Amino acid sequence: MSKSAARSMAKMFQMMSQMIESEKDHLSELDGAIGDGDHGITMSIGFLAINAELSKLDLDQASLSDVMSTAATGFLNAVGASTGPLYATGFRRAAKTLADRTTLDLAACADMIEAISTGIRERGKGQRGDKTMLDVWLPAADAAANALAENKTRDAFWHDVVAAAENGAAATRSMIATKGRAARVRERSLGHIDPGAASAGLLIRVMAEALQSSGQEAH
Ligand SMILES: [Mg+2]
């Protein structure tokens, strides 16, 4: 029996959590340079909570949308502050976008990335250049839309998305923070990668690894 799309997406969240666990200290160090040093812990708590919630779902019955909305609720319940509502809103919007999807073909993947970024952007009222996770999610969403429009292969699609995300994360090093706690140190934030952008880059890299081989039945 082939793996269901919902199962692939749950597996993606599991892999994201593993990645966050292994990068937790690094993310907190990045945050320590310009914030309160808790970003690794916060993301760890959030993704462990997502997986705890997902483990209660019957993945043979669950839809892609169920997995996303469960992730949104799990993350928000565990992480009340800043990052919590941002990712929760992104995942909730992705749940809506995926409501009539049953496979993770590239169109669904592009819509999902776009929905997560739009949710984060609207909730955080931010934009590119603010030195936040949006400097990763927005270019990743653009890259996905472009790759889809250009009819790229699945490998090329994910290559473009990951490259845009990683370039976006690296670019925050030369930005001055205007949002969140890092904004209080403004110029001092220059020269440091934003922790939220760094973790967003990791999440998108894992998303690519997890979804690169799923949904191929549609192509
Ligand atoms: Mg922090």
DSSP string, 146-188: HHHHTT--HHHHHHHHHHHHHHHHHHGGG----STGGGGGGGG
State the distance from the centre of ligand 1 to the C-alpha of 19, rounded, in angstroms. Answer: 18
Distance 52 CA to ligand 1 centre (A): 23
- What average pLDDT score do residues 1-25 get? 91
Q: Is residue 218 part of a domain?
A: no
Domain count, the chain: 1
* pLDDT score for 3: 67
Q: Give residue 62's region: left, alpha or beta (phi > 0; psi -120 to 50).
A: beta
Q: Residue 208: in which H helix or E strand, if any?
A: helix 195-211
Give 44 Cα–ligand 1 centroid separation in angstroms: 12
pLDDT at 170 over 50: yes
- Does pLDDT of 110 surpass 50? yes
Tens digit of each residue's pLDDT (9 = 90 or more) over 33-64: 888 899 999 999 999 999 999 999 999 999 99
182 CA distance to ligand 1 middle (Å): 9
Compute, in angstroms, the gap from residue 42 CA to the centroid of ligand 1: 8
Domain span at residue 81 reads 2-212
Note whether residue 99 is domain-resident: yes
Is 217 inside a domain boundary? Answer: no
| Segment among 8-22, 85-99, 202-216 with least mean pLDDT | 202-216
Give residue-wise pLDDT tens across range 127-140: 999 999 999 999 99
Q: Classify residue 148: in a domain, yes or no.
A: yes
Q: Is residue 152, in this structure, part of any structural domain at all?
A: yes
CATH number at residue 47: 1.25.40.340
In the reported structure, the alpha carbon of residue 39 is separated from the centroid of ligand 1 by a whole-number distance in angstroms of 5
Residue 25 has pLDDT above 70, yes or no: yes
164 pLDDT more than 60: yes
pTM to 2 decimal places: 0.94
Answer whether residue 86 is part of any domain.
yes
Over residues 11-25, the mean pLDDT reads 98
CA of 93 to the centre of ligand 1 (A): 24
Residue 217 has pLDDT above 60, yes or no: no
pLDDT at 184: 73
Range 197-215 average pLDDT: 93
Distance between Cα 204 and ligand 1 center (Å) = 20
* CA neighbor of 152 nearest in space, from 212, 99, 202, 204: 212
Residues with CB under 5 A from ligand 1 (ion): 31, 35-36, 38-39
Indicate whether 219 belongs to any domain. no
- Residue 65 Cα to ligand 1 midpoint, Å, equals 29
